[in-house]
Structure 1
Amino acid sequence: MDLLSHLGLKYPLLQAPMAGVSTPEMAAAVSNAGGLGALGLGAAGVDGARRMLRATRALTDRVINANVFCHAPAMRDADVEADWLTALAPQFARFGAKPPEALHEIYRSFAVDRAMCDMLIEEAPGVVSLHFGLPDPRWIGALQAAGNLVFASATSLAEARACVAAGVDAIVAQGIEAGGHRGVFEPDAEDACLPVLTLVHQITAACDLPVIAAGGLMEGRDVARALAAGAVAAQLGTAFLDCPESAADAGYRAALRDVELGPPVLTKAISGRAARAVPNAFVTLGQGLSQQVPDYPVTYDAGKALNAAAKAAGDSGFGAHWAGSGLRRLRQGSAAEILQQIAEELMQAQR
């Protein structure tokens, strides 16, 4: 299958879904400009996801990528959760607040959410992408029968082979450089931490599916290298973080621009799963804690509460400031302008 032609793309450029940051305006702008725009729906719930999809559809008639989380439901441990809240209590006190009395599993995994699957079948965005794992293959088939292509993230060759066996249409090869959450299927297993180009080489050599490169890609020359490695397209997220269509708040944008904070690093402290973030105060705090981190997304409930307390006190250093390794090449301009810049750089790199 010629993936780009099937999707009607002018450029082999995909905007990463980025739950909490991507907006209907961003997704529509990228798709209208010739790339593939995306919405991160893993935290939205069925009704919120439907509203986001319909808001995007009001701005474009082109294909949209609707991304969902397929993590295993949390394994709850009351003692671990209580210890985590106790460890965070001094930080809450700094901001004149108390930690929550209990934590909650704030996101429902798509893998057990048939209502979300039915909604995506009804709305038919054109692409549905999966992160953290895979649902029942019959759900994948139902999404495809409704007119959607199904993409799935893989951080290793073993995960890519599982994606092939499940019947997806394309694999998003997520290198260790990527911002936000690692898409590993088993968060407690050893992570090979493969760079994106190495991962693309491995998957394209072993799997007969289109491969989309993701991780640390910021410029046209980065995309050219990914295509030369065998990818059919590249997915970029950090490149779009600071555009006007982004939902990143002022504190997030300030952290992205603050060179004193250093390069993005992996942390579990914010959400409970490894994710690459700007090393703000929350990341630094997590590095100093020895307590066991509760399961995702239970930890995120605590993280969001601490961020809210900090923001109320005027401190923006406790947000989930996800970013990839290419952060210091941060882009400026509208989403459409950024896409066009990268496309022009790609054409120059391929001459």
Structure 2
Amino acid sequence: MLEELGIKLPIIQAPMAGVSTPALAAAVSNAGGLGSLGIGASTAAQARQAIEETRALTDRPFNVNVFCHQPASRDVETETRWLKHLAPLFEEFGADPPIKLTEIYKSFLGDEEAFQMLLETHPAVVSFHFGVPAPEQIAALRKSGIKMLATATNLREARVIEEAGIDGIVAQGIEAGGHRGMFDPEAIDERLSTSVLVRLLASRTRLPVIAAGGIMDGQGVRAALDLGAVAAQLGTAFILCPESAANASYRQNLKSERASFTRLTASLSGRYARGIVNRFIEYCEAAGSPLPAAYPIAYDAAKQLNAAATKQGYGEFAAQWAGQGAPLARELPASQLVQFLTEELQAAGS
């Protein structure tokens, strides 16, 4: 699988939308791993620019990740209740809550412009989160020579990925930071750990498995390989790299005791995601709170509130995604981190 992806090391930098940058992806790829761009929240034009900037920094393969969620099902009553619930927080910072919410970014499932952009820019690897695209899109990407990965949180999703003709499965354990890759957010989430999920998928599917969730060092990568994975995907481990787009507040919290307290919450975006616990999460999950608006409608409200608070130097409403391994994060340049991971991996296997 590593040869198919064009990489030397079994290390993949997770495609964290809003945090990954061309500089980060290129640095990881140049060091022998697979760097990634998360373009799920970008327009096609923004994504094209990010791909071109990455290509200018490396001649090595890199991954481009897209969101394959079902478009939001609008519910005016739910959205109205959610905005009413958040109104006191807006008022605290002298801001008016929005009158209505919008679907702030498209799903790849209905974004023909993004699909054509990928065919034209032709990244070495494209990965899918929240589902898989249409068969004809998969066929077109395959015909162009692009390798494909997709996230699974359980065996059912893995089998859909396998049947779709995708090249590999990213097994996302419950420890992972950021959004759960569940295809159906209304389904029961078994919340399998990374180790259990990797063993399950390695033994029950034919596709190569990439472990994701809670992996922060070379020892963790070795454990994933021993469980049957062909590589490990690390996200939170790369947030403190100077090449990431994480802001000062995010970095400060990740280096503090707060990194030990992460929670799965749907309050920020409308879909479950793991992040550092803050006032927004605690407020929105207090007893009697209404259900948040659908994904990504709820994200519109959270982002507007965070923007108003940030102007006054208050960062307690930001989405600071992080996995359960966050206390193990190291502040290193990406290339040096990959080197350390490689040395730890080799030492763990000796």
1:208-249 CA-to-partner distances (Å, cap 9, x unmatched) read 011000000001111111101100000000000011001011
Structure 2 residue matching 1:346: 3-state secondary structure: helix
Distance 1:215 1:151, change over 3 A: same
1:331 corresponds in structure 2 to: 330
Structure 1 residue matching 2:211: 3-state secondary structure: strand
TM-score by length of 1: 0.98
**What pairs up with 1:186-335 in 2 under 5 angstroms?**
186-260=184-258, 262-288=260-286, 290-335=289-334
1:28 corresponds in structure 2 to: 26
Separation in 1, partners of 2:232, 2:337: 14
1:135 corresponds in structure 2 to: 133
1:119 corresponds in structure 2 to: 117
Pairwise CA distance, 1:88:
0.2
Checking the alignment, whether the CA contact within 8 Å between 1:243 and 1:335 is kept in structure 2 is yes
Percent identity for Structure 1 against Structure 2: 52
Letter in 2 for 1:96: G
Of 10, 17, 20, the match for 1:19: 17
Structure 1 residue matching 2:207: 3-state secondary structure: coil
Structure 1 residue matching 2:157: 3-state secondary structure: helix
Q: Which moved more, 1:123-132 or 1:262-271?
A: 262-271
Checking the alignment, whether the CA contact within 8 Å between 1:265 and 1:279 is kept in structure 2 is yes
2:152 corresponds in structure 1 to: 154
Structure 1 residue matching 2:170: 3-state secondary structure: strand
Separation in 2, partners of 1:260, 1:342: 24
Q: Give every structure 1 segment of 4 or more consecutive aligned residues whose post-TM-superposition deviation is greater than 3 Å.
A: none
Pairwise CA distance, 1:261:
6.2
Structure 2 residue matching 1:58: 3-state secondary structure: helix
Letter in 2 for 1:106: I
Checking the alignment, whether the CA contact within 8 Å between 1:255 and 1:280 is kept in structure 2 is no
**What pairs up with 1:54-65 in 2 under 5 angstroms?**
54-65=52-63
Aligned pair count reads: 349
Checking the alignment, whether the CA contact within 8 Å between 1:223 and 1:234 is kept in structure 2 is yes
Separation in 2, partners of 1:307, 1:21: 16
Distance 1:184 1:106, change over 3 A: same
Separation in 2, partners of 1:260, 1:110: 34
1:7 corresponds in structure 2 to: 5
**What pairs up with 1:60-75 in 2 under 5 angstroms?**
60-75=58-73
Distance 1:61 1:261, change over 3 A: closer
Match status 1:84 vs 2:99:
no
Structure 2 residue matching 1:54: 3-state secondary structure: helix
2:346 corresponds in structure 1 to: 347
Pairwise CA distance, 1:8:
2.6
1:53 corresponds in structure 2 to: 51
Letter in 1 for 2:296: P
1:27-59 CA-to-partner distances (Å, cap 9, x unmatched) read 000000000000000001100000000000000
* Structure 1: 5+ residue stretches without partners: none
Separation in 1, partners of 2:43, 2:104: 10
Pairwise CA distance, 1:7:
2.4
Pairwise CA distance, 1:260:
4.3
Letter in 2 for 1:127: V
Separation in 2, partners of 1:213, 1:111: 25
Pairwise CA distance, 1:135:
1.0
2:163 corresponds in structure 1 to: 165
Letter in 2 for 1:195: S
Separation in 1, partners of 2:293, 2:153: 23
Structure 1 residue matching 2:198: 3-state secondary structure: helix
Of 42, 45, 54, the match for 1:44: 42
Checking the alignment, whether the CA contact within 8 Å between 2:259 and 2:327 is kept in structure 1 is no
* Structure 2: 5+ residue stretches without partners: none
Separation in 1, partners of 2:18, 2:166: 25
TM-score by length of 2: 0.98
